[in-house]
Amino acid sequence: MRVLTMKSIDDYKNKKVLVLGAGKSGTHAAETLQELGATVTLSDAKPAEDLPEVQELNDRGIETITGKQPADILDRGFDLMVKNPGIPYDNPVVNSAVNHHLPIITEVELAAQITDAEIVGVTGSNGKTTTVTMITKILNQERQKGHAYAAGNIGISATETAKKATADDTIVMELSSFMLLGIKSLHPHVAVLTNIFSNHLDYHKTRENYVNAKMRITMNQTPADYFVVNFDSDEWRQLSNRSQAKVVPFARTSEIDHGAYEKNGKLYYNDEFIMNADDIKVPGKQNVENALAAIATAKALGKSNLAITNVLETFTGVRHRCQFVLEADGRKFYNDSKATDIEATQMALEGFDKPVVLLAGGLDRGYTFDKMIPQFKQHVKSAVLFGQTANLLEESLKKAGIDQIQKVASLDEAVPVAYADSDEGDIILLSPANASWDQFKNFEVRGDEFIKDVEKLTHKQEEN
């Protein structure tokens, strides 16, 4: 039996808990609850053959129900449901639990209950993962005791991280709106709101519901805590009034008299110069905003300017998110495979002031790419297209006046063609503007393939 290092609590001893949804969060929640003395049942609608973790759970004595979610499962008299964040509340089992007043939490709430570590929570529509990564790296600079860990929606189990974290550590949690709907006591010492747009309305039904879900990140904060908020929107400024914590603003375009902000291409915190915006290693206006959020958080927690600049001047980006891969023969290669929609590619293109050779294409979802014509005109020198949407992208690029367009069968072919189309000083950017599923299992596989192709072409290794 594993030796537990997590905080000892009796809340779940002899309780019957239903974990709804397997995956990484559900599996680790089930294991943790069993270790805390609960009787656990895990249910997932997928068949067992698609859930390799099920056998390990069965071997531990955890009951699993797969291939269906029985309508009468709640008749077993559960004391609690731990829900996969992605399962909506109109799911029949979840809806029934709500109607029967069965408590429902998500895995991050469980993680918060079993750790004495300091928690930094980060939410927002865009920029969460990059901001979490920046903050975590900065907090590990010049650290005398403990370690900072990234966890949560970033793809790292919050409960597994909480088990190893001590009171000397910091857990920097990426928190989606779905996760935040299932918290009760999670209490970040620093909560960060990067921005709020109109996302996930199929799940939340209204923008108001979505905003309220995001704002749960600060609901348990006190005046001893910090709420780091983007002040580039009047709406977001007003949201800061809902928090009991000390508000620490950041802004790239608005004038503010304290907090972290950009002015004339320089980044400041409370009038103290931190660094030049152009010295941030990852490109794009959005990454200046992410860096400002990280600076505000780091300064609130007492980190030095050197700790901040050591990270922001060298951090090459989160993998597959406008990630700098390497430079060869005066060309810089970037992997933005996570750009699975038009808006993401627009943002990526706007981040460069050098000519871009664009690699794009993927799953055809039935829309055109004319929305990108302004970005094509301003930033794209030439394009190499692949996948189901190659012809549609070609039409929009031609409307933008781009004549240098080549279509290829695969990403493997696209990389050498893009290099041949480029000149010294150019950016070679994979930013597909499409989902990957026509040719790849997911965007991660697509991005990894791009990196391998670049390494093969240049005989150099990816920079980390």
Name every residue whose Cβ is closer than 8 Å to that of residue 293 and which is 6 or more positions away in sequence.
Answer: 122, 127, 131, 134, 135, 192, 194, 228, 230, 250, 260
Handedness of CA 435, 438, 441, 447 (dihedral sign): negative
Angle (CA) 268 274 280, round 5°: 105
127 marked among binding-site residues = yes
CB 187 within 8 A of CB 221: yes
Angle (CA) 84 87 93, round 5°: 100
How far is the C-alpha of 190 from the C-alpha of 214, rounded, in Å? 14
How far is the C-alpha of 133 from the C-alpha of 420, rounded, in Å? 34
124 marked among binding-site residues = yes
125 marked among binding-site residues = yes
Collapsed DSSP state (helix, strand, coil) of residue 227:
strand
Q: How far apart are the first and last CA of the chain?
A: 37
Q: E strand or H helix at 295, and its extent? A: helix 285-300
How far is the C-alpha of 66 from the C-alpha of 262, rounded, in Å? 52
8 marked among binding-site residues = no
Of 403, 400, 360, give the one whose Cα is nearest residue 378. Answer: 400
In the sheet that holds 148-152, the strands lie side by side as 148-152, 170-174, 118-123, 190-193, 226-230, 246-251, 260-263, 266-269, 272-276
Residue set of the binding site for ATP: 124-130
Residue set of the binding site: 124-130
